[in-house]
Every structure is written in structure tokens, then in C-alpha cells.
Homo-oligomer: A and B are copies of this chain.
Amino acid sequence: MNRHPDKRSRLVDAAVRLVHEQGFARTTLADIAGAAGVPLGNVYYYFKTKEAIGEALVAHHAGHYATLRGQWNQSGDARSRLAAFVQMTADNRAVLARSGCPVGTLCAELHKAGGPLAEQTGAIFTELLGWLEEQFRALGRDTDAADLALHLLSALQGVSLIAHSLDDPEYVDRETARLTGWIQTL
């Protein structure tokens, strides 16, 4: 891949941003083309259909989180990794209040639409849950590591949704503060 790095990646970057802000259905190919500085008809040279852009979008997010996990795995212990994960959400308070979690909102929308894209997006959550479970297991929580992972991801996804729905980053502050404290008690 990447024989056309310039235009193709510009299109993907534009799609990532616009879809996060507007949703997938409401983002038109003309929007994406315009934001990337590419004529509309030329988009189809890089992506056969709009759904193909959706796939690239999902792959982008999956790759992004994989990279983050790789970085977190490099340093610190399990507890500090979990804290870093929560802190990332806290740092993104403004964006989350404005447009929600890029992955969570995309998952919700694509699952209502159905189709193969829905499963691919959901896989990002599966991978994240697996990584979280590893961290909890490293903390000695062998029996309930999966439940703790689910609880943490639920709380973060939920507060992102609430902060987005009420357009108020303060909710992110409060819940992430609670979760950070909770992690220290484990």
C-alpha cells in the first residue's frame, strides 16, 4: 500500500476529522474532497466507494490505538499504564465534549447501519479490552481482570457520551478523577 501517500493520506486525514465532527453518513465525499484539496471525481481513483473510505477510517483508528498501546507497553508498570489510559481521556476533555469519542461514536453509527464495517470498528474495542485485561492481570487480579477491564472502558465510553450529549467537558473531569483514584486502590 501507500503508493499514493500524499493525496490518499490527505483524504484519510480529512475523513477522520470530518467524520468525527459530523458523523459518517452526514459527511459527503464532496466534503472530504474539498477538505483534502482533491477534486471530487479524483477521490474514486483512491477509493472505489464511500465504504472503502470507511474501511480506511477504521483502519486508521485501529492503528492509532495499536501504536498507543505499543508506547505504553514500553515503560512503566501496569498501574501507571492504566493511569495513562485514563489520563488520555482526561486530556481530551474538550474534544470529547464537542464531538464525543471518535471510536465510540463511529461504532454506534456504523452498527445502526449494519454491514461489515460495523464489525471492524467493534474490533477496536475488543483489542482495547484485551490490553486492559492484561494490565489488571499484571496487578494480580487474575479472577476478575476481564470484568475490571470492561468496567473501566464502560465508564470512559459512558462519560464521553454524556459529556458529548451535554456539551460539557466538566463531566469528563469528574469521572476521570474518580477512575484515577480507583486505579490507585487496586
Q: B-contacting residues of A (Cβ < 8 Å)? A: 21-23, 25-26, 99-100, 104-105, 107-109, 111-113, 118, 121-122, 125-126, 146-147, 150-151, 153-159, 161-162, 164-167, 171, 174-175, 178
Contact = CB atoms under 8 A, between A and B. Distances in A.
A108 B162 contact: no
Contact of A23 (B112, B122, B146, B178): B112
Contacts of A146: 174
Contacts of A105: 108, 112
A161 B159 contact: no
Contacts of A99: 112
Given A154-B161, A157-B157, 11 more contacts: A100-B111, A105-B112, A107-B165, A108-B165, A126-B166, A146-B174, A154-B156, A154-B159, A154-B175, A157-B158, A157-B162
A111 B105 CA distance: 10
Which of A23, A100, A112, A125 has most chain B Cβ within 10 Å? A112
Nearest to A104: B161
A111 B21 CA distance: 9
Given A154-B175, A161-B157, A166-B126, A108 B100 contact: yes
B122 A165 contact: yes
Nearest to A121: B165
Contacts of A166: 122, 125-126
A26 B112 contact: yes
A153 B162 CA distance: 8
Nearest to A144: B178
A164 B156 CA distance: 16
A100 B164 CA distance: 17
Given A113-B26, A166-B122, A171 B158 contact: no
A151 B165 contact: no
